[in-house]
Chains A and B, each alone.
Chain A
Amino acid sequence: MTDDTAGRIADPSAASSARGRTGLYALVWRVPLLVWQFLFFVVPLAFLVYLSFWLVKNYRMIPGFDAINWVKMYSKGYFWDAYYLTFAMAAVATVVASALAFPCAYALSFKVSETVRRWAIFFLIIPFFTSYLVRIYAWQVILAENGVINGLLALRDLGPVAMLNTKFGTLVGYLTLCMPLVVILQTFSLANVDRNLIEAAHNLGCGRIRTVFTVIVPLAKVGLIIGAVFCFILSFGDFVSPYYLGGSRPPTLSILIIDTTKSGQQWPKAAVVAVTMIATLLVVAFAAVGAAYRKPK
């Protein structure tokens, strides 16, 4: 350190000025994100909440502040049926996707070469090049009663098995949407686990399975949970799979939003459903992130 530098750092006003410049620099980089989030998340969300208090008269929305939409919607049994179904289906999709993705991500992280891993990630990204709706229509061809799977079963005098327009169909759609993303997130997370710690566990006599659950999973916890949260969020809000593979039977919350708007411009009631969905997702996301970053006692 030169005398000059040491002198400047020793000077409190100079240090304060440097901190100020750093703060301003950081703020300049943060501002676009903050502005974006404010304009395209906070403002629309506030409007959506406000909209849920409007009234509809003669097919026209009337601005106001009346809780009647909340009272009516929350008093309907079908709303809660749809809510529990949506939550349960998204939870099942999250568990299944995470469980199925883990062996795949584990293999990509620890058992294959760097080149193979790169190609695998490339192939996991490829599905996103195609429209999700198109992929779901492709599943219709595969899952239909006279589709590909039942055609193969028929060769063995089996079936037909009802898969399309069932909850199973919806689950297939959710996994189509989420699995590649969950595998990628888990792979990145597992790939960053310190190999020295794994070797240390082995050197200390820890078996392979025990190493996975007591060393690798805790170290990759954040990525694994983030992958699961993404799966839950995408499944919870998805409209396409429950409609086109589940036959809307019974409907999820996203379908209920569409149905509600078909009853004479009932957008305020649809807003009640939407706000409830967003609130649920926020609670789940914060709880999951809290769990991910919680320090072990």
Chain B
Amino acid sequence: MAKSDNGKRIRTTRRKLLQYSGAAAGVALFTPYVHRSWAQTVELNMLSWYGLAEPDMVEEFEAQNNVKFKPKYYAGGDNMLAALAQSPAGTFDIIHTDAEYARILIERGDLVDELDPADYPFDDMQHDDFTKFPGHWKDGKLYSVMTRFGHLGVSYNTEAVTREEAMSYDVFWSPKVKGKVGHFDWHLPNLGEVSLLNGNTDPSPFDISDAAWDKLKEKTLTLKPQVKGFFDYGGTFASLKNGEILACVGIGDWVTGVVAKDGAPVDSVVPREGGIQWTESYSIVSSSTKKDMAKKYIQYTLTPPGQVRSANMAAYPGFCVTKSGQAALIEQTPDEAKRTSQMPGMANHPVTLIKEGRIHYRDTPKQQSLEDWNEFWSEYKNA
């Protein structure tokens, strides 16, 4: 019970107390949202592979920064270039792309902005190459930042193929998988793997002479009788899951990791001949009007929470690029860290494989044109 200014007594009943408390709690609870609704939500337009702007990746950043991601997804670097070419300037703020296509973006000169290396935790990167990743720098200037990566090798059904058998690309020619080999329908990773089998490692499976290119074509054509089909991501996923294919060329844990979580007996290994690395990076579009927010998001993806989300991404998982990200992954989702060999000291730790020289960065062909490789791929599909 209290007194008012004019001395009259105010009766504070239990009901009124509850009403006032409820109102106060409501104000306290909803104030942040009221504040947010007053502030203009920033819409960040992202051009990316599927999944990069899904809630499991961006919800935390969206909530923290009053941002709403508006993604346009593509499949394959050429589609990314096409989407860019077909959209007016200012359509996109941030581009997520494969490293070999980041190089093409940067070469164009007017598409993506120069970045300040001091804005990104390069001293926390797991490997020196990640700080100066090929194609991300031009004339000593940074244009693209690597945020995740993965390895491609032999992907197989563990009930049909043993791990030892899968440790060589020769398994694709094995009678055990005759008519049951699938291809991820993109020439670069497939031909890159056959190139590795042919021993083209110095300097790279994508930097080969015309004689080596002829041998690569010859070897690839011998695989055709083994092949069941050519699939996109969804088709590869379904074919591995329903047993239509028992081994797949051109993919890795980025597909089998998801299929395995779905209960299918599949796995991927980097074979003795070596593996190919896919590398994904972010760039800020020059015509964007939200460059600060785009930069903030790239920084976020390199923080431990951002790296953990990337490593567990529902659409397809990727390895952590930062030491602190890996530490957080081990702490928060140790099973995933173990499954992907990201625990310190594991023999197949992704960075160890790179240091041992068993991994080659995926690239566009150096001594032939991309068109040459693609035309052969069409020939092969028709063979």
* A contact residues vs B (CB 8 Å cutoff): 58-61, 76-78, 81-82, 137, 140-141, 144-147, 162, 164-165, 243-244, 246-251, 256, 259-267
Contact = CB atoms under 8 A, between A and B. Distances in A.
Given A59-B104, A140-B242, A248-B230, A243 B235 contact: yes
B244 A262 contact: no
Contacts of A266: 371, 374
Nearest to B379: A78
B378 A251 contact: yes
B111 to A, nearest CB: 11
B85 A147 contact: no
5 contacts: A146-B243, A248-B231, A260-B374, A264-B78, A265-B81
A58 B105 CA distance: 11
Q: Which of B81, B85, B378 has the most CB of A within 10 A?
A: B378
Contact of A145 (B76, B186, B244, B371): B244
Contacts of A247: 228-231, 235
A137 to B, nearest CB: 8
B174 to A, nearest CB: 18
B81 A144 contact: no
A248 B229 contact: yes
Given A250-B382, A259-B381, A265 B238 contact: no
Nearest to B101: A59
Given A263-B370, A263-B375, A251 B186 contact: no
Contact of A262 (B108, B186, B369, B379): B186
B78 A144 contact: no
B377 interface: yes
Contacts of A256: 378
A144 B227 CA distance: 16
A249 B242 contact: no
Contacts of B370: 263-264
Contacts, number: 100
A73 to B, nearest CB: 10
A249 B371 contact: no
Contact of A58 (B107, B186, B375, B378): B107
Interface string B205-244: 0000000000000000000000111111011001100111
A165 B79 CA distance: 25
Contacts of A246: 229
Q: Which of A81, A264, A266 has the most CB of B within 10 A?
A: A264
B381 A251 contact: yes
A162 B107 CA distance: 47
B253 interface: no
B118 interface: no
A61 B85 contact: yes
B76 A262 contact: yes
Nearest to A61: B85
Contacts of B242: 140-141, 144-147
Contacts of A264: 78, 369-371, 374
B291 to A, nearest CB: 24
Contacts of A82: 382
- Main SS of the interface on chain A? loop
A263 B185 contact: no
Given A250-B381, A251-B382, A263-B371, A244 B235 contact: yes
A112 to B, nearest CB: 39
Given A78-B379, A144-B243, A165-B228, 18 more contacts: A78-B378, A145-B242, A165-B239, A243-B235, A247-B228, A248-B185, A249-B227, A249-B229, A250-B381, A262-B76, A262-B187, A262-B374, A263-B187, A263-B374, A263-B375, A264-B370, A265-B81, A265-B82
B61 interface: no
B137 interface: no
B373 interface: yes
A250 B381 CA distance: 6
A89 to B, nearest CB: 14
A266 B187 CA distance: 15
A140 B375 contact: no
Contacts of A265: 78, 81-82, 85
Contact of A81 (B79, B231, B373, B382): B382
Q: Which of A59, A137, A260, A262 has the most CB of B within 10 A?
A: A262
B239 to A, nearest CB: 7
Interface string B84-120: 0100000000000000000010011000000000000
Nearest to A248: B230
Contact of A76 (B185, B238, B239, B375): B375
B108 to A, nearest CB: 8
Given A146-B242, A165-B228, A243-B232, A249 B82 contact: no
Nearest to B224: A249
Nearest to B380: A78
A246 B369 CA distance: 29
Contacts of B108: 59-60
Contacts of B227: 249
B240 to A, nearest CB: 11
